């Protein structure tokens, strides 16, 4: 695992540097907007989606200096969604990654524009020349990210989530919500990283099955951590789902069964990778990381 | 002009049909989000940006069945920006195109997600296969739309606009704001329509000069109409800029000089097209339409 830790740190340093380059300098007008965009994105988060993109790129032998743009694009989509989700009209959260949320640190109008502009920047980033040797494949990648982000993906998952507050969802409905809300972008992260190289159909399907399992496992573990951790450890307001009367894996299954479910999903994720051998080693380690993480 | 009227109606019918197909059916989950997205986009607006895209496509001989995707993409960006701009954190407007705004008809969280999902759909639409015979050119088109929409384009213009409320802007600062807020997307509309065909550098520059003039003329006329028209004619709250103490061309120049400026910009726009002959006829007619419109 020391080797894995070094790899994650190298990936995180690479993505942090690239994001710092992609985000306009706070010296450029409109300064306050650019300052707020950098505040929202830089120096925060585990960068799970970029790590998945880099790990998937290893499966298809795609060089990291191409995959990093796919990694940055999914992270920018993720970052924009957090800024908008935290706003008063949505989750109304004041703390994120141990810092005041964007609308608290700046103001609501700025938070709205930060999210909007980060989404544009995500698509600009994925359109960087040469992410795949075939630009027609890269256009497909752009459609994939757009679909994963839109009303039938992440934004749609948010809408389902909002509609579910205070309603007795069953496990199938909860899973349906998370497949959209967090699952779609996690699947896109894996696919886009892999598609920076040459991806065969069988590998694509295996990776997608892996990504579905990881996406759900990530959410199950999130619910467990939210139920158990303190706000200080989590870096965001803990116990918020229960306070908001939101259905979670813990409220439906209890902590013990939720933990078991996360382990089962890891086993499934491993199984999906069985034919991919050593190049999929980082993806296996990330499955472990997602399930065993404490924050 | 009857010929021009027939052309605009044909373009508007075409874009309305395409947008209706691109927007997910309200039968698809999440239903309320899809219903609100359709409410925000369909059956409204003059479709000036799509008209510009179709007209520019005629200059490069690009077929309308390709250019329509560029036209739809810019209209989706425009529609998302209206939904977000109308929200309480921004302009707090209750009326748009003669109907209650999205956050009034639905709710704020839905309006936020509608804008987010429309932006994703815009990029999905511009990534439609085959808009240019060369997919590498189409990737460039995607970068162009992303830049025009982002923090150094439209979203940045919004930020500058917000920061300017109650401040004594001079003409240069007002122009700087509008070049971003409305100008960037109007320039993108012209460029993207033209780039569905084969676009030479000289033509690109001529079209871009035209688009800059039209973008400013559009805003100058908007300010004149806002100062003079009634809410019923305008379909949105009239006199709002003055009430919000926002600087406008009318507040800086007076109505008479603002009208003159619009005419001068039309003359410049015509001059930019002087080498393009008959294929630029629709663009000239659109310049007339933008300057002479009454709503």
Residue B235: band (very low, low, confident or very high) from pLDDT cuts 50, 70, 90: low
Q: Cβ atoms within 10 A of the Cβ of B227, count? A: 18
Residue A234: band (very low, low, confident or very high) from pLDDT cuts 50, 70, 90: low
C-beta separation of A192 from A73 below 8 A: yes
Please write the tens of the pLDDT for every residue from A27-42: 999 999 999 999 999 9
Report how far apart, in Å, the C-alpha atoms of B25 and of each of A194, B37, B81 are: 32, 10, 21
Put simply, whether B162 touches A (Cβ < 8 Å) is yes
Enumerate residues 6+ apart whose C-beta is below 8 A from A215.
A178, A179, A182, A183, A186, A187
What is the rounded average pLDDT of the residues B52-75? Answer: 98
Phi, psi of A73 (to 5 degrees): -60, -45
Q: Is the dihedral of CA A106, A111, A112, A115 positive or negative?
A: positive
Residue A238 has a pLDDT of 59
Instruction: Kindly determine whether residue B159 and residue A30, on different chains, have CB atoms separated by under 8 Å.
Output: yes
| Whether residue B32 has a cis bond before it, omega within 30° of 0 | no
Residues of B in contact with A37 (CB under 8 A): 151
Which of B37, B89, B136 lies nearest to residue A151, judging by beta carbons? B37
Beta bridge partners of A96: A99
Residue A44: band (very low, low, confident or very high) from pLDDT cuts 50, 70, 90: confident
What is the rounded average pLDDT of the residues A77-93? Answer: 96
Tokens of B20: 């209706």
Residue B115 has a pLDDT of 98
Give the distance from residue B53's alpha carbon to the nearest chain A alpha carbon, in angstroms: 20
Residue A216 has a pLDDT of 96
Phi, psi of B99 (to 5 degrees): -125, 160
Of the ranges A4-8, A230-234, B68-72, which one carries the lowest mean pLDDT score? Answer: A230-234
**Could you give the angle at which helices A2-22 and A281-292 cross, rounded to 10 degrees?**
90
Q: CATH number for the A2-292 domain, one of 3.30.56.10, 1.20.120.420, 1.10.3720.10, 1.10.600.10? A: 1.10.600.10
Please write the tens of the pLDDT for every residue from B145-175: 999 999 999 999 999 998 887 788 889 989 9
Instruction: Kindly determine whether residue A139 and residue B143, on different chains, have CB atoms separated by under 8 Å.
Output: no
Contacting B residues, span 27-86, partner chain A, CB-CB under 8 Å = 28-30, 32-34, 37, 80-81, 84
Residue B71 has a pLDDT of 98
Put simply, whether A155 touches B (Cβ < 8 Å) is yes
What is the rounded average pLDDT of the residues A201-229? Answer: 94
Render the burial of B76-99: b for 16+ CB within 10 Å, e for the rest: bbbbbbbbbbbbbbbbebebbeeb
- Reported ipTM: the value is 0.95
Tokens of B264: 């001068």
Compute chain A's Rg from CA coordinates: 18
Residue B230 has a pLDDT of 61
Put simply, whether B89 touches A (Cβ < 8 Å) is yes
Residues of B in contact with A149 (CB under 8 A): 116, 120
Residues of A in contact with B29 (CB under 8 A): 156, 160
Instruction: Kindly determine whether residue A127 and residue B108, on different chains, have CB atoms separated by under 8 Å.
Output: no
The correct answer on CATH 3.30.420.40 for the domain covering B2-290 is: no
**Could you give the angle at which helices B135-149 and B154-164 cross, rounded to 10 degrees?**
10
Whose tokens are 């075409």? That residue is B14
* Global pTM exceeds 0.80: yes
Beta bridge partners of B284: none
Residue A226 has a pLDDT of 87
What is the rounded average pLDDT of the residues B234-258? Answer: 77
* Residue of chain A minimizing CA distance to B84: A112
Residues of A in contact with B121 (CB under 8 A): 146, 150-151
Contacting B residues, span 110-149, partner chain A, CB-CB under 8 Å = 110-113, 115-117, 119-121, 123-124, 127, 129, 134-136, 138-140, 142-143, 145-147, 149
Residue B1: band (very low, low, confident or very high) from pLDDT cuts 50, 70, 90: low
* Residue of chain A minimizing CA distance to B139: A127
d(CA B81, CA B85): 6
Residue A294: band (very low, low, confident or very high) from pLDDT cuts 50, 70, 90: confident
d(CA A134, CA A138): 7
d(CA B74, CA B119): 10
B232, pLDDT greater than 60: no
Tokens of B207: 């079209």
A281, pLDDT greater than 80: yes
Instruction: Kindly determine whether residue B146 and residue A136, on different chains, have CB atoms separated by under 8 Å.
Output: no
């Amino acid at each position: 695992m020391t080797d894995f830790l070094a790899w994650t740190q190298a990936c995180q340093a690479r993505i942090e540097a690239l994001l710092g380059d992609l985000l306009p300098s706070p010296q450029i007008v409109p300064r306050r907007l650019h300052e707020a965009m950098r505040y929202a994105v830089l120096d925060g988060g585990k960068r799970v989606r970029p790590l998945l993109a880099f790990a998937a790129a290893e499966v298809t032998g795609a060089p990291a200096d191409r995959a990093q743009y796919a990694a940055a694009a999914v992270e920018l989509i993720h970052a924009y969604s957090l800024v908008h989700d935290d706003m008063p009209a949505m989750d109304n959260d004041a703390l994120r990654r141990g810092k005041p949320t964007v609308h608290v640190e700046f103001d609501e109008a700025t938070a709205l524009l930060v999210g909007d502009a980060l989404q544009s920047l995500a698509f600009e980033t994925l359109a960087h020349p040469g992410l795949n040797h075939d630009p027609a494949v890269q256009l497909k990648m752009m459609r994939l990210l757009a679909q994963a982000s839109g009303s039938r993906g992440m934004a749609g998952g948010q809408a389902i989530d909002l509609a579910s507050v205070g309603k007795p969802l069953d496990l199938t409905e909860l899973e349906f919500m998370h497949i959209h809300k967090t699952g779609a972008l996690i699947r896109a992260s894996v696919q886009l990283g892999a598609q920076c190289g040459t991806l065969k159909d069988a590998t694509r399907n295996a990776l997608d099955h892996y990504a579905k399992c990881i996406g759900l496992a990530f959410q199950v573990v999130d619910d467990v951590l939210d139920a158990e951790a303190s706000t200080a450890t989590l870096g965001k307001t803990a116990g918020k789902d229960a306070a908001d009367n939101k259905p979670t894996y813990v409220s439906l299954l209890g902590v013990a069964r939720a933990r078991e479910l996360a382990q089962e999903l890891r086993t499934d994720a491993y199984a999906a990778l069985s034919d991919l051998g050593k190049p999929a080693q980082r993806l296996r380690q990330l499955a472990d990381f997602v399930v065993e993480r404490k924050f």
